[in-house]
Amino acid sequence: MKMLINVPERVVTDALRGMALAHPELVVDVENQVVVRRDAPVAGKVSLVSGGGSGHEPMHAGFVGRGMLDGACPGEVFTSPVPDQAVRAASATDSGAGVLFIVKNYTGDVLNFDMARELAEDEGVQAARVLVEDDVAVTDSLYTAGRRGTGGTLFVEKLAGAAAEEGAPLERVEAVARQVAGACRSYGVALSACSTPAKGGPTFDLPPGELELGIGIHGEPGRERRPMMTSGEIAEVTVDALLEDWGGSPPTHPVLALVNGMGGTPLLELYGFNAEVQRVLAARGVAVARTLVGNYVTSLDMAGCSVTLCEADDELVRLWDAPVNTAALRWGC
């Protein structure tokens, strides 16, 4: 598998160097692999810090900026960041109002962020943590006890980030994050495997003519493999898997919908898939308040897609519409 890289060992640091050069509004500590807002710490503001293995770009570093994250700590590809990275991101961004760590539910991430939280508290930083475990496909997957954290992370970071930007105190920001984490459900489908730089080729075998339903964002096994399906059929399976997890009836409030590409699927196809997802949502009686289509929570070069629905009351819709100014998500600023 050909890649646009120098050597596998330097992929993440090379990317951080390139990110620094493209985004003067960010402070990028390449050596320690920490990205923070240039204006951090923002006086009186709760800081949001997230991170995880690289390979899911633009998440998380692409979500650092006004109205979303204050700091991010990318690990090596598909590898949890070490606690020191998260502590550095917290210390660099804490204004004294406290830090909320947003953690995707993978064993390594949970362990390392828990340790980071303790270390940060030892340094006098008031710290809280919210876990994102939105992937309804499987429980106790590879790397995970419980459900995996995937596309719902974007909603937690955006909505809690908006609350923090408005000056909400830590307990309120944490409450919003928990509400959103509980309101999100995701389901992903792979048309191809992804290739990691270290391996130099596909991380699993997905035969021609088959797709994998319920795929994880590291290529972890999903629910089942089936012969290739149409976009409309994939939308039906995906939406129905999400609604089944809602107890079989549609959400009470309208949803925020993320129709997400895994990285290797053209935007042309993603928009077409969105049409099918919205068709099925309408048929199932789900009202959609806002829709975001694009590559936001990716798996390197994997072809495929995921759908995340976030049930949103008026307040969450308002927080979604609030200004955000990051490399990957930007409006109202």
Residues that are catalytic: 56, 218
Q: Nearest approach, Cβ of 319 to a copy of itself (angstroms)?
A: 19
Contact between 250 and 284 under an 8 Å Cβ cutoff? The reply is: yes
**DSSP bridge partners of 103:** 131
SS3 state of residue 227? strand
Choose between 22 and 142: whose C-beta lies nearer to a copy of itself: 22
Q: Nearest approach, Cβ of 75 to a copy of itself (angstroms)?
A: 12
Half-sphere exposure of 228 (CA within 13 A, CB side): 8
Residue 31 contacts a copy of itself per CB under 8 A:
no
Contact between 34 and 61 under an 8 Å Cβ cutoff? The reply is: no
Choose between 109 and 174: whose C-beta lies nearer to a copy of itself: 109
Residue of 59, 52, 55, 178 lying closest to 107 (CA atoms): 52
Q: Nearest approach, Cβ of 178 to a copy of itself (angstroms)?
A: 28
- Interface segment toward a copy of itself; rule CB under 8 A; list 10-18, 111-119, 158-166, 174-182: 10-18
Residue 14 contacts a copy of itself per CB under 8 A:
yes
Which residue of 145, 198, 275, 283 would you call a contact of a copy of itself, by CB under 8 A? Answer: 275
**DSSP bridge partners of 104:** 132
Residue 124 contacts a copy of itself per CB under 8 A:
no
Which residue of 98, 264, 310, 317 would you call a contact of a copy of itself, by CB under 8 A? Answer: 264
DSSP string, 291-310: EEEE-SS--TT--EEEEEEE
Q: Nearest approach, Cβ of 36 to a copy of itself (angstroms)?
A: 17
Q: Do the strands 34-37 and 71-77 form a parallel or antiparallel pair, or are they unpaired?
A: antiparallel
Q: Nearest approach, Cβ of 277 to a copy of itself (angstroms)?
A: 8
Helices then strands, each counted (H, E), the chain: 8, 17
Q: In the stretch 38-57, what mask flags binding to a copy of itself with x, by CB under 8 A?
A: ----------------xx-x
**Alpha helix ranges (H) inside the chain:** 11-22, 83-93, 107-122, 152-165, 170-183, 231-245, 267-283, 314-321
* Residue appearing with tokens 């923090």: 164
Site size for a copy of itself (CB under 8 A): 65
Read off the tokens for 330: 């930007």
Choose between 124 and 208: whose C-beta lies nearer to a copy of itself: 208
- Interface segment toward a copy of itself; rule CB under 8 A; list 89-97, 110-118, 134-142, 300-308: 300-308
Residue 191 contacts a copy of itself per CB under 8 A:
yes
Taking CA atoms, 155 is separated from 162, 180, 207, 241, in Å, by 10, 7, 33, 19
Residue 331 contacts a copy of itself per CB under 8 A:
yes
Q: Dihedrals φ, ψ of 109, to 5°? A: -60, -45
Q: Give the separation between CA 266 and CA 99, rounded to whole angstroms.
A: 37
Which residue of 209, 247, 248, 252 would you call a contact of a copy of itself, by CB under 8 A? Answer: 209
Choose between 77 and 159: whose C-beta lies nearer to a copy of itself: 77
Q: Nearest approach, Cβ of 156 to a copy of itself (angstroms)?
A: 21
Residue 179 contacts a copy of itself per CB under 8 A:
no
Q: Nearest approach, Cβ of 222 to a copy of itself (angstroms)?
A: 15
Binders in 216-255 for a copy of itself, by CB under 8 A: 228, 230-232, 234
Half-sphere exposure of 147 (CA within 13 A, CB side): 20
- What does DSSP assign to residue 69? B
Burial class of residue 172 in the structure, from the number of CB atoms within 10 Å of its CB (0-12 exposed, 13-18 middle, 19+ buried): middle
**Chain contacts with a copy of itself (rule: CB under 8 A):** 2-7, 10-12, 14-19, 21-22, 54-55, 57-58, 62, 77, 191-192, 208-209, 211, 228, 230-232, 234, 259, 263-276, 278, 288, 291-293, 295, 298, 300-301, 303-305, 325, 330-333
